[in-house]
Structure 1
Amino acid sequence: MNGFPWGDFALNLAAAAGAAFAVMLITFAVALAKGLHRVVDVAWGLGFAAVALVSYAISAGHGDDARRLLITVLTCLWGLRLAGHIARRGRGHGEDPRYDQLLAKAPGNRDAYALRIVYLLQGALVWLVSLPVQAANYVPGEMSWVALLGCALWIVGLFFEGVGDFQLARFRADPASKGRIMDRGLWSWTRHPNYFGDFCVWWGLFLIACDHWAALVTVVGPLVMSYLLINGSGKRILERHMQGRPGYAEYAARTSGFFPRPPGR
Structure 2
Amino acid sequence: MNPTQQLSWIWLLAAALMVLGWLWQRSRRNAGIVDVLWATGLAGAALLLALTGTGAPAARLLVGVLATAWALRLALHLWARVRSEPEDGRYRALREHWQGSQLKFFGFFQFQALLVLLFSLPLLAVAAHPDPAAWQLGLAIAIWLVSVAGESLADAQLARFRADPGNRGRTCRSGLWRYSRHPNYFFEWLHWCAYAVAAIGAPLSWLGWLGPVVMYLFLRYVSGIPFTEQQALRSRGDDYREYQRTTPMLFPWFPKS
TM-score by length of 2: 0.89
Higher mean C-alpha displacement, 209-218 vs 81-90: 209-218
User: Partners of 1:145 and 1:208 in 2: how far apart?
Assistant: 9
- 1:19 alignment partner in structure 2: 13
Which of the residues 212, 219, 235 maps onto 1:229? 219
Report the secondary structure of 2:200's partner residue.
Answer: coil
Preserved CA contact (<8 Å) 1:55 1:137 = yes
Deviations 1:13-67 (A, max 9, x none): 22222232232223223333434322112111101001111112222xx211112
* 1:178 matches 2:172: no
- 2:46 alignment partner in structure 1: 52
Q: Do the aligned partners of residues 35 and 252 (structure 1) sit closer, same or farther apart at CA in structure 2, a change above 3 Å counting? A: closer
* 1:151 matches 2:145: no
Preserved CA contact (<8 Å) 1:71 1:208 = no
TM-score by length of 1: 0.87
User: Partners of 1:12 and 1:58 in 2: how far apart?
Assistant: 8
* 1:113 matches 2:104: yes
Q: Do the aligned partners of residues 150 and 95 (structure 1) sit closer, same or farther apart at CA in structure 2, a change above 3 Å counting? A: same
The root-mean-square deviation of aligned C-alpha atoms, in Å, is 2.2
User: Partners of 2:11 and 2:212 in 1: how far apart?
Assistant: 17
| More helix as a share of residues | 2
User: Structure 1: 5+ residue runs without aligned partners?
Assistant: 1-6
Which of the residues 179, 185, 188 maps onto 1:189? 179
Please list, as runs of the form range in 1=range in 2, the aligned pairs for 1:120-135 lying within 5 A after superposition.
120-135=110-125
Higher mean C-alpha displacement, 194-203 vs 244-253: 244-253
Q: For 2:48, give the aligned amino acid.
A: V
What's the CA shift for 1:165? 0.7
What's the CA shift for 1:106? 4.3
- 1:241 alignment partner in structure 2: 231
Deviations 1:87-135 (A, max 9, x none): 111223333343343344549x82222111x111000011102211122
Preserved CA contact (<8 Å) 1:48 1:79 = yes
User: Partners of 1:264 and 1:112 in 2: how far apart?
Assistant: 45
What's the CA shift for 1:192? 0.5
